[in-house]
Structure 1
Amino acid sequence: MSPRIGLDLPTIIQKAAEMADENGLESVTLASLSQKLGIRSPSLYNHVDGLSGLKEKLALYGLKNLYDRLLRAVAGRSGDDAVFAIGLAYIGFAREHPGLYEATLPAQQTEDAELIKVSEELIQLIITVMDYAYKMKQEDTIHLVRGFRSFMHGFATLERSGGFGLPVNLDESIQVVLKVYVAGIRQQFRT
C-alpha cells in the first residue's frame, strides 16, 4: 500500500503534537490521529510502526524542539545569564507544549539510536552551559545538571498538574529559585 499523496511523516507528527498539547499525550491514538488527518488508521502504518512508533517519533520531535529552544536561549550568553536563560526556556517549552514535553519523558528508556543521540545532545548542552559558567570538576558539573533538570522538570510537572495553589506569581518563583540555585553554586564551589 502506498502512502496517501500529501500525507508525510512531518505532517503526521505535527498533528500528533498539536493533539498532545491540546488534550494531553494520552489523547493521541492511531484512531484519533487518523480522524484528525481525515484518513483511515491503517494509512498511518505507511509512516509509523504503530502507536509505539508514533510516540517514539513524537518524542524525537519534542526533544529536537526542546534542544533548539535551549540552544537559541543561550546563544550569546554565558555564566549565570546562560543558566537563567536555559532554565526559563525549559519552563517556557513545557508550558507552551505540555503534551509534547510529556512525550519526551519516556525517551530516557529507549533503545532507539536517534532518540538516544538527541537526548545526549540535550544533556551535553546543559553540561556545557554549566561547565562554562562555573568551571568545576566534571563530577560536580554532573551533580549540578541533575539537580537543575530535577528542578526544571519538577516545576513544569507541578505547574501543569495545578500543584501550585498559593497566591504567588509562578514566574517570580522561578526567578527566585534560579537565583538561589546560582548563589548556592557560587557559595559551594567558590566560583
Structure 2
Amino acid sequence: MVAQGTLETVYMVLVSVIIAYIFGLPLGVILVITGEGHIKPGPRINQVLGTLVNIGRSFPFIILLIAIIPFTRLVVGTFIGTTASIVPLSVGAIPFVARLVETSLREVPWGVIEAAQAMGASPWQIITRVLIPESMPSLVAGFVLTTITLVGYSAMAGVVGGGGLGTLAYQYGFQRYQNDVMVVTVILLIILVQLIQTVGDRITARVNKR
C-alpha cells in the first residue's frame, strides 16, 4: 500500500504540474507583456486576467477541491480517485504558476528587451529568445516550488479519497489509529520533497548563466 500510495502521489503531482504549466506559463507571459509600458500593452486584458488569477489564488485548496466537484465529475466521470484529483490540483496550480512566471519574467532587465527591439525583434521573438531564456533559472526555481506545493496539495486531496499517500495517512494513520502508517507516510513525503528540491537546485545551477 505504501508503494502504491507513493506512485499515485508522484503520478498526481507530475501530471498536475505539467497541465498547470501548459496553461499557467502562457497566462504569466500575457500578464507581463500586456502590462503598462511593456512590449504589447493591453490594460483591459491585463486587468481582467489579473483579477481572474487573483480570484483563483484566493481559494484555499480544500475548498476548491469541494467547490469544483461538478467540473471534476464532468471531466473524468468521478470526483474520487487519483485521476480525479488531478483536476483540482491543476486548477489550483494554474493561477499560482501564472504569478510565478510573471514575477520571473519581470526580473529581466528592460535594457535587454530594448536592445532586442532595437535589432528589430518581434514580440514573439522577444518572448522566446529574450524573456524566457533570460529568466530560465527563476522559472526552474518556480517549477520546483510549484511541484513541492502540489505534493502538499495532493496530501490534502487524500482526505476526500483522492488517493496517494494522503489517503493512506488519513484512512489508516488517522481513522484507524495506526501511527506507524502515519509516520511512514510523513517520512516518505519529506523524502519526496527533499529529492525534488535537490534535483531542482542542481538544474537551476546549470541553467544559470549569470
TM-score by length of 2: 0.30
